[in-house]
Structure 1
Amino acid sequence: MDFKPLITLLAVVNPLAIVPFFIHYTEGFSARQRRETVITSSFTAFMVIAISALLGLQVLEFFGISLASFQVGGGMLLLVSSLNMLNARPAEAKPATHDLEDGAQKAAMGASIAVVPLTIPLLTGPATISTVVIYAERAKTFWQLSVLVGYGVVIGLATAICFALAEPIARVLGKTGISVMTRLMGLILAALAVEVMAVGLLKLFPALGH
């Protein structure tokens, strides 16, 4: 079994790096609201990965985009994400602090926060979708595609665990620990991004392989 897609997705999604944002957005939430936010975020992350795996290639065909071009573009996006992570920022775009609502307003928003912005784009943004589509193309059998969707379940569970234990994790690791973890995952993601781009470039320009 190839675990490279799972490692890549864990590096891109990186729920540990989103823990401070989860704490911020759920400030003022009751225990029930926080629990519902964890469940909704985890399930939405799984759905994004599953839909990308099952329908991503059809979307590319509809727009007439070659997979090789998508691999190069997706690889570049992964590389940008890895550079952000090496600077100890989440892989996906994050909203500016001055745009965030105060605790009372956030509590009133309920589960919607779990979908936007916690899951989309902080957890599963363009880089995640690109990664899943690229690996979906490599799935030659129904079993391999099922495994990729199954990895979405693993990502959802990892997200649920990180968010459910958000405050203990933040206390134990602290800002420095989370920063180190984010940089380490960024380094791994940078190497994987170069590999994805190399495969796409070889398809677009076969002469590069000689």
Structure 2
Amino acid sequence: MIETLLNGFATLFVIMDPLGLAPLFLGLTPGLSTADRRRLAFRACLIAFAILAVFALIGISVLQALGVSLGAFRVAGGLFLFWIAFELVFEKRKTRKEKDAEAAMTEHDVFEIAAVPLAIPLMAGPGAISAVILLSGALPGPTGQASLLLVIASVIGVTYAILAVANRLDRFLGQTGRAVVTRLLGVLLAALAVQFVADGIASLVAGSRLAS
């Protein structure tokens, strides 16, 4: 269980990519004071946590209602996470996030930015939602669900801490530092995604043998 929780923390952290989110956050909040930025970041983190917590608690029930097996979702989710890893390694995800940020600047005022695009889709996007549903299937029962909520809260807490010092962190890392860290995290996510796919295939094979 501990290994699953650690893998879950790493997966969510890489998908949210708070280090890559920091410069976008600064771009979305020009002219705001440090205190206002922190309030905005806190609001966005609360919204993102609420969204991910809901999917962590009811995601498996939704799959069952749709007749989708957990093994099939693991394969699909793993492939989706692998695509995100590919985007991280080749910096395509950064370009897409920048487009979302630019759209938000023209379509939403500064306080609405906490919900869109910060919470959705930059933090609690399809990748993060898929990951928490996958983790929910690997952590059944009240103890597992409570542990998953704790993992989500931990990642959100780290994300808030990074956004709270985004200005200083962005100056410290610079463009080269961010690129190196993002690529390393992308490789890690690719490995985790392959493991999700492998577990899903094993589950599907085991299920077909039982059915026969």
**Does the CA-based 8 Å contact 1:19-1:162 persist in structure 2?**
yes
**Does the CA-based 8 Å contact 1:68-1:201 persist in structure 2?**
yes
1:109-188 paired onto structure 2 within 5 Å: 109-188=109-188
Structure ranking higher in helix proportion: 2
Q: Give me the whole-angstrom Cα distance separating, in 2, the residues matched to 1:75 and 1:32.
A: 38
Deviation per CA, 1:36-72: give whole Å up to 9, x if none.
Answer: 2111111122212211211111111222222111111
2:91 counterpart SS class: coil
Q: Which amino acid aligns with 1:141?
A: G
1:29 counterpart SS class: coil
1:99 aligns with 2:103: yes
**Does the CA-based 8 Å contact 2:89-2:183 persist in structure 1?**
yes
Equivalenced residues, count: 205
**Does the CA-based 8 Å contact 1:81-1:91 persist in structure 2?**
no
Q: Which moved more, 1:200-209 or 1:145-154?
A: 200-209
Deviation, structure 1 residue 30: 3.9
Long gaps (5+) in structure 2: none
Q: Which amino acid aligns with 1:36?
A: R
1:205 counterpart SS class: helix
Give the TM-score, by structure 1 length.
0.88
Match of 1:44 among 30, 42, 47: 47
Q: 1:129 to 1:93 in 2, by over 3 A?
A: farther
Give the match for residue 66 of structure 2: 63
**Does the CA-based 8 Å contact 1:33-1:110 persist in structure 2?**
no
**Does the CA-based 8 Å contact 1:92-1:127 persist in structure 2?**
no
Deviation, structure 1 residue 170: 0.5
Give the match for residue 32 of structure 2: 29
- Percentage of matched positions with identical amino acids: 31
Q: 1:42 to 1:92 in 2, by over 3 A?
A: farther
Deviation per CA, 1:77-129: give whole Å up to 9, x if none.
Answer: 10000001101344795252763536xx86xx132101111121112211111
Deviation per CA, 1:112-155: give whole Å up to 9, x if none.
Answer: 10111112111221111111111111113311210110011111
1:195 counterpart SS class: helix
Q: Give me the whole-angstrom Cα distance separating, in 2, the residues matched to 1:47 and 1:207.
A: 33
Match of 1:88 among 79, 91, 99: 91
Match of 1:9 among 12, 31, 35: 12
Q: Give me the whole-angstrom Cα distance separating, in 1, the residues matched to 2:171 and 2:102.
A: 25
Q: Which amino acid aligns with 2:197?
A: M
Cα-Cα RMSD: 2.4
1:65 counterpart SS class: coil
1:101 counterpart SS class: helix
Q: Give me the whole-angstrom Cα distance separating, in 2, the residues matched to 1:180 and 1:47.
A: 31
Give the match for residue 194 of structure 1: 194
Q: 1:92 to 1:81 in 2, by over 3 A?
A: farther
Q: 1:61 to 1:20 in 2, by over 3 A?
A: same
